[in-house]
Structure formats: structure tokens, C-alpha cells
Structure 1
Amino acid sequence: MARGTSRAQPGVVQPTHDISRSVLASGWRRSPRGHLALVLVLLSPLVALAREETRTPVTRAAPASALPTDATLEQLLAEALEARPELRQAEAQVRAARERVPQAGALPDPVLQVGIQNDGFDGLMIGEMEGSYISIMASQALPFPGKRALRTEVARLGATAVSARVARARLSIEAEVRRGYLDLLLTRERLVLLDRLQALWKQSADMARIRYETGEGAQSDLLRAQLELNRLRQRQLALRAEERVRVQSLNRQSGRPLDEPLPTTTRVRDVGVPELGDREAAERDSLERSPELAERRALMAQAEQQMALARRERLPDFTVSAGVMPRGGDFPPMWQASVGVNLPVFSGRMRSRVVAESGAQTESTTHAVAALEQDLRLRVRERLIALEALRDTVAIYRDGLLMQSAATAESTLTQYRVGRASFASVLEANTGIIRDEEDYLRTLVDAQRLAIAQAEVSLEPVASMGGGGQGAGGMPGAGSAPSASARGAAPAGSAPGAAPSTSSSMSGM
């Protein structure tokens, strides 16, 4: 990047380097008015930025069911749902489970027997002896009435439970793409902040150089400014590498070539603070849409049907047989019909254990459903509490903190000019507002991640918040829910090729 330039970003005031150079050249040595003009030129981008934030009201994003999006994100989501093998895997598992339903209620195959009965061993006596004949017998086993229907229902409920994995895969894939896109936006906006900080360092280095040339400042101030410029270049390289990794991760998630560029027009500050609605509505939404809860409820119903089937299995099955015996000659053919029934002599004790096992399984799944409902309500309340704290934090940034940071930087530069502040204070003041804005952006990202987790119906807990001022990256608890289907029977957990965590911070910012 050329000296004195920075990335253009919509809505961001850029430093006016031509004006600053003219002030440095002509106003520094002439009068205190020139000194004040230099300070105002250096701080004008930051003050304008702070005023922009304070003029902009806190926007409320759409509910979790309608998360903010743009054309690029919509395309990524559509391609991810089309290309992800995890979703195809879950759909194949559902098809396999549904194919088991008609199998469960099918009758066993009939048995066909062909035989011969003959008098003596000297030759075939069919048609000559009354007791000699050919027999053709068919038999069919018939389960006790109601068993087939129960077996079919058990298999159907099992398929219903498996089908919840498709819903989990879709929710988790969408959440994974949204989080990756949000991280990409944050990384690119951090690069813009870093460019702006680099411009401020260059201006501060010019100030330190002029003070040193006029004998009013120390050479160490100039060396310190040059040192920080080199450190900024290192951080720029790291952030640009992180940007490439995030682009490749999103491309992998959507089935694109890894190096295909992803242009973005949305800024983190544009997405606003989401609104999850009132507690009762959010809890009801989670209970209705949770794939895990739907799966466990299907398993609970399946366990109840299995217990009913286990009781009915103690009843005997029937076998119906019929046959005809042609005897040949002048002898009329004979026929036979019979009905058999199973005698539970040895299986009776086993059947009672099967009933007891089914009862215990039903009780277990009932408690599992109750526990999951409690977890879902807890996660919703955790997200609502965390989101309220983040919303208040954003208000603090917009209502005063950014303006106060800009005013502090302006005051420190003025005091440095008259010798009442050290250059270290100037350096800290120059980076303070950039650091505050980065923390402000991270707070917005954390809020959006909570909304994404709510839309995903995530079961992952919300981690404790360290506060925006600490530069805590994405909240771990605002991530993804455990899912075997969307993670390749792992995320929608960490996605393969996932980008580095957003918790990495810019040292010195």
C-alpha cells in the first residue's frame, strides 16, 4: 500500500493527508494556531467516526427466523445446502429408515412342501396301493392380530426420529455459513481499521520528526513511531492471511473452488443488534423447531409402541397349512388342512424380560425429553440475558465511549505539543479509539452470533462474556449445537477447514 493511502470504505471518513502535509510544512513553526490546526487535522477522521456512531441509532435486526443477509450470503447458503455431503448423507439415512417400514409389517414367506408316500420298497405303488400318494402342502405363519401393525408403527417412528437429522443438518450448515461469513466481514473491517491506524502512525511519525528537528522532541519518539509502523505491517500480513483462510473455509462449505474470491458489501456495523423477542415466544420457538427434541419425542413414542409390542409378542402366533394328496388310479385324491399355534413353553420367561426392558426404555426416553426441554429453555434464557448485556454495551459505545476516546486522543496530542504529555501517551491515544471501535465491532459480532445460535436452536451453552473492552472474540457459547448429521456425524461442530477463531486480536490496536 502506498504511503498516505488507505482502503476506501463506505461511510468511513479518510484522513486528508494533503492538508496535513501543508499544515506540517507551513503552520508548525508560525503560530500556536498552526499547532491547533495540525491536531485537528490528525484527529478529524476519528472524531468524525465517533460522531457517525453517536448519530446512528441502535438498529434492531430481524428475529432469528429472518437473520440479516445480502446477495453474497444468500448465494453461499444456497450453494452450501446443495453441495454439502453431510446433508446428502443424512437424507440417505432417512431413505434407508423409511424403507424399513414396509419390511417390518410384512408377512413371513409361505412354505411349500412336496413329498411322496409309498407302500413298500419294491417300487412305486402310486395308483396301485391306497396308501401311496404324492403330497403338495403349503403353510403360512400368521402373527397374532395387532403385531404387524405395532411393528410397522415402531419402524415408522424410528424413521421419523432419523428424519430429524436432516433438519439438524440444514440448520447447522446454515449457521456454520453465517458464522463464517460474519467472521469474514469482521476480518475485513479489522483490516480497514488497521489501515486507518497505520495512517495515524505515519502522521504521528511526521509530528515526532518535526519536533525532533526543531529540538523540541527526543529522537526516541521518532524511533518509536517507526517501530510501531513496522509492527503494524506484521499485523497486516497476519490479518490478510486470516482473510484468505476465511474465504477458503466459506468456499469449502459451499462447494466452490477454494481460491474463488468472495466480494462483500455489508459491514459489521450495518447488521445492527438482533432482537430475539420475548422469553416465552423464544422458548416456544426453540421447543417447536429443535431437531433433537423432535428426535427424542419420536424415540419416546417408539419406546411406548415397543412396550405395547413386547406385551403382544407374548401372545401365540398361528400357522395355517393346507395340502392335496393325489393317489392315482381309481383312488380319489385326499386333502388336508390344519391350524397350528406356538406354545410359549420356553419363550415365556424371555418375553417377560422384554416387556420389562421396554418399560425401562420408555421411562428413560421420557426423562430424556424432559431434560432436553429444560436445556432448551436454559439456552434461550442464557442467550437473552447475554444479548441484553451486549445491547447495553453497544449503547455505551455509541452514546459516549467512542466520542470520549476521540476527545482523549485530541487532548493528549494538544498536551504533547506543549510538552505536558509524553509521546507514549500520544501513541496510546492514537490507538485507543481504534481499539475501542474494534471492540465495538466484536460486540456486534457476538450479538449476531447469539441470534445465529437461536436460529440454529443450538444446545451449546453461552460462555461468560469478558466485556467488549477486553476484545473478546466470538462468544464460544454462541456457536453451534452438537449434531451428528451436519458435522459429518460431528456440526454443524467445528467445520472442516474452519478459519481461525475471531478471538485473535490486533496487538497495539
Structure 2
Amino acid sequence: MSPPASRLDAPRSLVVVLALLAPMAALAQAPLSAPEAQATPVSSLATDETLSKLLTEALEARPELRQVEAQEKAAQERVPQAGALPDPVLQVGIQNDGFGELMIGEMEGSYFSIMASQALPFPGKRDLRTQVARLGAKAVSAQVLRARLTIEAELRRAYLDLLMTRERRGLLDRLEAIWKQSADLARIRYETGDGAQSDLLRAQLELNRIRQRRVALNAEERTRVQTLNRLSGRPLDEPLPTTTRVRDLGIPELGEGEAAEKDAMERSPELAEGRANIAQSQQQMALARRERWPDFTVSAGVMPRGGDFPTMWQANVGVNLPIFSGSKQNRAVAESVAMADAATRATETVEQVLRLRVRERLTALSALRETATLYRSGLLMQSAATAESTLTQYRVGRASFASVLEANSGIVRDEEDFLSTLVEAQRLAIAQAEVSLEPVAALGGGSAGAGGMPGAGSAPSAPARGAALSGGAAGAAPSSASSSMSGM
């Protein structure tokens, strides 16, 4: 069957096809050229001016931090209260002979009385109570440090999510350009009788899917910006420009094993709070033992009798008798011993978990570093070379149109996985700075072909993500930096 009259003649169509294939090859190779893939990172989250400004504003505006600071102030105000003497007691009274009339000044046994008494704890109790309260305030101070570290980590992670979302949008732009070129190529080949109509329909379908994913990415970006503005106390819809690129962040350094552990032990708010709790429990144990000793009460008073009767006075010293110490004071000692042991065990648990988390992060970071090296040193360039080779084979009729499109889309998938590797490495550094006790997410396969995203704890499974990247089933909306660009 002869082609329709509207179709182009063969020589002209060949020129047009070659003209369209050249930009496709350029689009495939542009983001993955050897100099850029192997370039030394030129930026860092630590030097990002926008992030530094957001951190400053967050520490000034977050109500969560003001809340724990108020709790710390309340705990400090309890310190002088704990060591203060009990309030003295003032008594004013009258004693009268008979009920008929007031006999003060007429009867010897009738008088006014003014009495004052003061309770005096056994020596050492007040100091111990002050120490207990002071150590309690120290434990609350560790909670303030935890709040600061958590606020900074939350904001850094949210900023990293925004950077990754914008990187994904750039990758989507690159993929859209490839599909536009592919649609034009499919249309020309169909008109010249060299291609199938299904190729043209597939290209048009993928362009519409890209438009759909762009809507989702734009909504995600707005959400990321609103989250950052909330975390820093800004108006929710205030624009937030960024200049840092994820591809330039590189892999951070967390130090050597022993040094990293020592640093975490020194900075951990949970360990600081645990040590304060241990010291407080020990002081409470000493106080419970001291409570076995009796407290004293001193009192004095005067009794004016009026008339010619001389004024009387009295002074008293009282002492409480701990006759129920077997069921009271002794039990308090046993309780404080148990509480001190519990605080010690809890702190040991925190220390063990913290050591584990540091080692986990170091191990995961080492794997991510190797993965990033593989991407930079060969995988990205191999992906581009594969696309170029497939394109060459397609020119001579030895490869299908679907193979060309799959190879070109694979370039974008590989770069997204590479960027996700860098993001996960930055997340490990954020967790280390936060001295987090949260477990490290399991690393993915590190292969775009398998659909894995290195270090993405919340990423879909490999088959699900691979289907999403290939433009198949629609996935769930991305929720973090580890979410994939569905359908890319």
C-alpha cells in the first residue's frame, strides 16, 4: 500500500528525522557529561545563606522552643524554694478565767498570748533538697538543647526536601523536552510510513502524563515552601528562592568511628539528661537516708496579764519522733535506691543505642559514598552512552522506537537516583548533627534499573518505583526527599 499523499517524500523525511534525532541526543547527554558528573561539589548546606537565615528566624520564632525555655525557667525557680525554711507560725490568743466577763488584769491566770514557732529541718536536709532541685533543673536544660537540635534538624530536612523537589522539576523539564522531540520524530516517521501510529500515540500520552506530574510537583513545591515558612515563623505563602543545587552538595564527612562516637556522647541531650537524673537520684537517696533523722521546732511567746501581774513568757523546743520509719523512711530509702538504679540503666541504654546509631550512620554513609562514586565515575556516563548507542541503532533500523525512549528516560531515572543518594547522605549528616536516636533507614539497591533509591527509607519497593519511573501506574504523592518523581 502506498503512503498517503500528505506524507513527505523519503529524502526530505530523512533530513527531518536526522535533524530531530540530534537534539534528542544532546538532551540525553547534556546533564551527564563527564566534566559535570565528576565535578567537585561547590556548595554546602552549611554555607547556604537562605538556610542560615531560616535557622536564625526559626530559633527566634518557634513556640516549641519558648515552651521548653519557660519550663526550664520554672525548674530553676524551684531551686531556692527547695532549700528554704518552712514558713514560721504566728499565734495570737487569749486565756480567761470564767465565761462571765473578761478577767485580764484582774485574775492571775487571764492573759493575752503572742506565740511564734519555726520548724528547723535536721542539718543537711536543706542542702540535699536544693541539690535535688538543681539537678532537676539541669535535666530540663537538656530538654531545651534537644528542642533546639530538633528544630534545626527539622528545618534542614525540610529545606533539603524543597531542593530535591525543585531538582525533580528540572528533571521533569528535561524529560518533557525529550518526549516532545520523540513525539515530533514519531509523527514524521508515521507520515513517511516508517513508523507505527502507536509510537505517536505513546509519545502524546507520555506528554500528557508529564503535564499531570508537573501539577503534582508544583503543588508539592508549594507545600514544601509553606512548611519551611511555618518552621521559621514566616507567612505561609512567602516566596522562598534557593540557589543551592542538590548535585553540588556532595557526600559529607562524619568523622572516624571513635571520634564520631565521642562527639555524639558529649553532645547528646538524652545522655546529659540521663546523667543529671542519675545524680539527682543519688542525691534523693542521700536525702531519704537523712530523713530518718528528726526535725526540730522552736517556739517562743509572751503572755501579758495586765494590771499588777508581771508578763509571762515561754520558750519551747520540739522534735518529731520517726517511730514509723519501718513503713515510711526506710521505704523511701528503698524507693530512692531503686529509682537511682533505674536511672542508671536507662542512661546505659541510651548510650548503647547512641553508639549503635553512630555506627549505623557511618556504615550507611560509606555505602552512599561508594554509590555516588559509581554514579559519578561511570554509571551516569554509561547511561548516556547507552542512549546514544540505542539512538544510533534506531537510525539504521536495528532498534525500536520504544528502546530509544526507554534509554532516554533511563538517563533521567539514573540522575534522580544519583540526586537521591546525595540527599540521603545529607540526611545522615543532619541526623548526626541532631544526635538522633532514630534508626537509619535501610539502603536501597542503588540501581535505577531495579528501581531502588539508595537510603530511601520511605521509598516504594523496587518494582513499584520502577513502574512509577517508567510512566506506568500512578503512585502515591511523594512525602519526603526519598519520594520518586512518579512516571519519570
Common topology (TM > 0.5): yes
Instruction: Give the secondary structure class of the aligned counterpart of 1:276.
Output: coil
Whether the aligned pair in 1 keeps the contact of 2:160 and 2:481 (CA below 8 Å) is no
Mapped to 1, the partners of 2:81 and 2:60 lie a distance apart of: 31
Map of 2:453 onto structure 1:
472
The Cα shift of 1:415 comes to: 1.1
Equivalent residue for 1:296, pick from 256, 261, 274: 274
Structure 1: any 5+ residue segments left out of the alignment? 1-23, 479-497
Map of 2:138 onto structure 1:
160
Structure 1 residue identity aligned to 2:484: S
CA separation of 1:457/1:198 partners in 2, compared to 1, >3 Å: closer, same or farther? same
Mapped to 1, the partners of 2:100 and 2:21 lie a distance apart of: 128
Which one is further off, 68-77 or 453-462?
68-77
Map of 1:284 onto structure 2:
262
Instruction: Give the secondary structure class of the aligned counterpart of 2:310.
Output: coil
How much is the aligned-residue C-alpha RMSD, in angstroms?
2.4
Equivalences for residues 33-432 of structure 1 within 5 A: 39-52=21-34, 56-57=38-39, 59=41, 67-432=45-410
Structure 1 residue identity aligned to 2:401: F
Structure 2 residue identity aligned to 1:501: S
The Cα shift of 1:384 comes to: 0.4
Map of 1:19 onto structure 2:
none
Whether the aligned pair in 1 keeps the contact of 2:443 and 2:457 (CA below 8 Å) is no
Structure 2: any 5+ residue segments left out of the alignment? 1-8, 460-476
CA separation of 1:451/1:168 partners in 2, compared to 1, >3 Å: closer, same or farther? same
The Cα shift of 1:235 comes to: 1.1
The Cα shift of 1:129 comes to: 3.5
Structure 2 residue identity aligned to 1:170: R
Mapped to 2, the partners of 1:322 and 1:110 lie a distance apart of: 11
Map of 1:507 onto structure 2:
486
Mapped to 2, the partners of 1:368 and 1:57 lie a distance apart of: 47
The Cα shift of 1:212 comes to: 1.9
Whether the aligned pair in 1 keeps the contact of 2:13 and 2:192 (CA below 8 Å) is no
1:153-172, Cα deviation, whole Å (9 max, x unpaired): 11111111112111111111
Whether the aligned pair in 1 keeps the contact of 2:28 and 2:408 (CA below 8 Å) is no
TM-score (norm 1): 0.85
Whether the aligned pair in 1 keeps the contact of 2:40 and 2:248 (CA below 8 Å) is no
Equivalent residue for 2:418, pick from 434, 440, 460: 440
The Cα shift of 1:392 comes to: 0.4
The Cα shift of 1:53 comes to: 5.4
Mapped to 1, the partners of 2:48 and 2:42 lie a distance apart of: 16
1:157-207, Cα deviation, whole Å (9 max, x unpaired): 111111211111111111111111111111111111111111111112222
Map of 2:465 onto structure 1:
none
Mapped to 2, the partners of 1:263 and 1:474 lie a distance apart of: 27
Whether the aligned pair in 1 keeps the contact of 2:444 and 2:456 (CA below 8 Å) is no
Map of 1:449 onto structure 2:
427
1:274-321, Cα deviation, whole Å (9 max, x unpaired): 000111111111111111111111111111111111111111000001
TM-score (norm 2): 0.89
Whether the aligned pair in 2 keeps the contact of 1:113 and 1:136 (CA below 8 Å) is yes
Instruction: Give the secondary structure class of the aligned counterpart of 1:258.
Output: coil
CA separation of 1:252/1:121 partners in 2, compared to 1, >3 Å: closer, same or farther? closer
Whether the aligned pair in 1 keeps the contact of 2:442 and 2:455 (CA below 8 Å) is no
1:396-432, Cα deviation, whole Å (9 max, x unpaired): 0000001100010011111112111111111101101
Mapped to 2, the partners of 1:50 and 1:257 lie a distance apart of: 38
Whether the aligned pair in 2 keeps the contact of 1:60 and 1:275 (CA below 8 Å) is no
Whether the aligned pair in 1 keeps the contact of 2:104 and 2:111 (CA below 8 Å) is yes
Mapped to 1, the partners of 2:53 and 2:71 lie a distance apart of: 27
Mapped to 2, the partners of 1:270 and 1:73 lie a distance apart of: 16
CA separation of 1:476/1:161 partners in 2, compared to 1, >3 Å: closer, same or farther? farther
CA separation of 1:61/1:244 partners in 2, compared to 1, >3 Å: closer, same or farther? closer
Structure 2 residue identity aligned to 1:51: S
Structure 1 residue identity aligned to 2:243: T
The Cα shift of 1:446 comes to: 0.3
Whether the aligned pair in 2 keeps the contact of 1:60 and 1:273 (CA below 8 Å) is no
The Cα shift of 1:504 comes to: 2.8
Instruction: Give the secondary structure class of the aligned counterpart of 1:247.
Output: helix
CA separation of 1:27/1:363 partners in 2, compared to 1, >3 Å: closer, same or farther? farther
Mapped to 2, the partners of 1:192 and 1:272 lie a distance apart of: 19
Whether the aligned pair in 1 keeps the contact of 2:164 and 2:246 (CA below 8 Å) is yes
Aligned residue-pair number: 460
Whether the aligned pair in 2 keeps the contact of 1:276 and 1:451 (CA below 8 Å) is yes
The Cα shift of 1:120 comes to: 4.2
The Cα shift of 1:471 comes to: 4.5
